Amino acid sequence: MAATHELIEVVTASGGSTTYLEFTSIPQTFSNLEAVWSLKLDSYNPTSATLHQMYWRVNGSSTTSVYPNMYRGMFYGTSTALWKYDSSPYYEIQVGLAAANTPNMNCGLLNIYDYTSTDGTGKSIQGMNSCMQYDATSYDRALLVTSGNLNIAEAVTSLKLSAYNDEVIADDSNIRLYGINRSA
């Protein structure tokens, strides 16, 4: 199959109470998946977010051996932006959800390589994102790269994003899911 970069679907928050965004029945006809997001939290629900992290899970799995990952980057003026998790029940992206009072949504992308593989190892998940203001009370910047393995012995058929503690994702926030074929 020729190399392609094809939009599969778009999922959009609506209705004012969305805490999960999910793709199901992902086609198994590509080499890689690429999710491109523009996301922020809702301004009224809640009025103050506890955490702005985004949490990704595939195939509904919360098994800790599935998502070992590390991140590196910059939280300007605040704590260190360097960490690793040998095991994790989710693939976490720091500051993936912009605060409600930010002028812009957080923008970033996530790539899952060889997502149709049924081997327990070999799939790879990589993310990068930036947010020019992520804290609800101060001007700040966050620039992150996040890298992980995806150790699940199943092809990826669903992809779910969760916000923390029922924090609501602002309406019109969206994730675009693309399929990529590497072969020429």
Partner 1 sequence: MSTPQIATVNCATGEQTVRDMTAEEIADQEAFNASVAERQAADEAVATAKAEAKASGDAKLKELGLTDEEIAAR
Instruction: Catalog residues that contact partner 1 under the rule CB under 8 A.
Output: 8-27, 45-46, 51, 53, 55, 62, 79-80, 83, 88-90, 162, 164-166, 168, 177
Least Å distance, CB 105 to partner 1, is: 16
Taking the complex as a whole, the smallest distance from the CB of residue 50 to partner 1 amounts, in Å, to 9
State which residue, 9 or 132, has the beta carbon closest to partner 1.
9
In the complex, the smallest distance separating the C-beta of residue 153 from partner 1, rounded to whole angstroms, is: 21
Measured from the CB atom, is 13 or 131 closer to partner 1? 13
Write down the least CB distance from residue 103 to partner 1, Å.
24
Pairing of strands 159-162, 123-131: unpaired
CA geometry: angle 85, 41, 164, nearest 5 deg: 40
Please say which residue, 20 or 113, places its beta carbon nearer to partner 1: 20
- Of the pair 26, 97, the CB lying nearest partner 1 is at 26
Q: For residues 2 and 30, what is the distance between their CA atoms, to the nearest angstrom?
A: 10
Q: What are phi and psi of 72, to 5 degrees?
A: -150, 145
- The structure tokens listed for 28 are 């198994």
Query: Token digits for 18?
Result: 């969305």
The least distance separating partner 1 from the CB of residue 71, rounded to whole angstroms, comes to 12
**Which residues contact residue 58 at a Cβ distance below 8 angstroms, ignoring those fewer than 6 apart?**
66, 112, 150, 152, 156, 158, 159, 160
Closest CB to partner 1 among residues 63, 121: 63
Secondary structure (3-state) at 130? strand
